[in-house]
Amino acid sequence: MDRYQTKAALVEGGRPLLRFGVIGCGNFGAELARVLHELEGTRVAAVTGGADDSAKLLAGELNCEMTDSVEELAGRSDIDAIVVASPNDLHKEHVLLAAHNGKHVFCEKPIALSSTDCEEMIKACGNANVQLMAGHILHFLDGIRRAKQLITGGAIGRPLVVHAERTGWLDKRTGSGWKHDPGRTGGLLFHFIHELDLIQAFLGPASSALLAGGNINPGEAAPGSIPDNLLLTLEFSNGAVGTMQYGSGFRWGGHFVKINGTEGAVLIDFQRSEISVKTISGIETFGINGKPDEDEERRGSYLQLDGKTAFTGPNSRPPQFLRSAIQAEMIRLRDAIQGKPVEEEFAMLFDGTAARDSVATAEAAMSSLTNHAWVKIKP
C-alpha cells in the first residue's frame, strides 16, 4: 500500500482536498503555506527547504510533514501542487521537477533569471498539463486592480509616458543570506521585478531597453559584478516610453509608479499607500489595499524605514497588508487548479505573459548595461 494513501483520501465538504507541498520556508514561503493550510479546500501536506530550521519549525506549526529533499517532496503521491518559494536561481530546477512529477506549480517572482529558462518552464508545465502561476502579488491589491480597470477603460486616454522608482539608502549591508547575493537574486531588476511587471501590464510589453548603472554606494559590502544602482529607459511598440530608477544610493528615495496618458494620469504612491487618478473630471484618490487599516500599516512601515533599503529575514512574517493579497492570490490558484475559469485580469499570471515579459525585459536591460547600447527585447 502507498504510504500516503490515507492522506490522499481526505475530503472536505464532499470534495477532495488540494494538497500542497512547499519548497522554501522563509518569509514568503512560510506565509503562503499558512494561508493554504487555512484556506477552504486546501491543505499543506509537506514542506522542505529554507534557512536554519525554518522547514522544521513550519512543519511543527502546521502539523504537516517535512521532507529532506525537494525530490522527495515532488515525488509524494499525496501532493497535488507545489509552491516554489526557493531562492531565485533555483526556481527553474524546482518548477521543472514539479512538472516532471505532474504537479501544478505556483512560482514566486521572478520565475526565472533568463527568458530561455522562462520559456522552458512554461513549455514543461504545458506539456505536463499542469497549471503554472507566477507570483506577481501586486495584481491582487484592490487599489491596483481598480487602477488597471480605469486605465484599461480609457480613463486617462492612451498611456504615453511612465516613470517608476524603487530607491533608498543602504548605510551598511548586513547578513549573509541569499538575498544579499546578486548572483542568486539576478540583481535589482530581477529581484524587485514588480514594477517592471506592472508598467508592462499597463502599457504592453517593452520593445527595447537602455540601462546605465554601477556600484556606487559605499554602504554596499564587497561590490560585485551586478550594480547596486540602475537607471533604465524603455521604449514600447505603441510609441510610449518609460524610465525606471532602482538602487540603494538615493538619500531621497521613493517608491512609486506614474502613468501619464493623453487625457490624464495615475500616480501609485507606495510610501503613502495611495493611488491618485487625474482625469478631465478632477482627481480621485483611493488606497492601494483598499482597506484603511492595511493602507495605514503600509504607510507606517515606510515611515519606520525612514528612506532606508531593507531586506526581509527568513523568520519574519509579511505584514497584514501583504497577507490579504497572498490570500487573494492563493484563492485564484486553488480555483484555477480546480478547473474554474481564470478571470481575464489574472490571465497573464497563468498563461506565461507576465512572467515572460518581465523576465525578457530585465534580461535585455542587463545586456544593455554590458554592451552600452540599446537592446531589442525578444517578443
Q: pLDDT tens for residues 222-271? A: 555 568 899 999 999 999 999 999 998 898 999 999 999 999 999 999 99
Quote the strand ranges of 95-179, DSSP E. 104-108, 132-135, 159-167
Phi and psi (nearest 5°) for 112? -155, 170
Among residues 134, 267, 95, the alpha carbon closest in space to that of 275 is found at 267
DSSP state, residue 12:
E
Q: In Å, how far are 108, 142, 146, 262, 274 from 150, measured between CA atoms?
A: 27, 12, 6, 14, 15
| Residue 366: strand, helix, or coil | helix
Is the pTM for the entire model greater than 0.75?
Answer: yes
Query: For residue 1, what are the CA distances in angstroms to 4, 5, 21, 77, 81?
Result: 8, 7, 21, 12, 22
How many residues comprise the chain?
379
* Residue 257: burial class (beta carbons within 10 Å; 0-12, 13-18, 19+): buried
Q: Using 50 as the pLDDT threshold, list the residues of the chain that sit under it.
A: 1-9
Query: Domains in the chain and their CATH numbers?
Result: 5-135 (3.40.50.720), 139-319+332-376 (3.30.360.10)
First to last CA, the chain: 49
Summarize the chain as % helix, strand, coil (round to 5): 40, 25, 35
Q: Reduced to 3 states, what is the DSSP secondary structure of residue 339?
A: coil
Q: Which residues pair with 242 in a beta bridge?
A: 162, 234
DSSP for residue 317? -
CA distance 103 to 122: 13
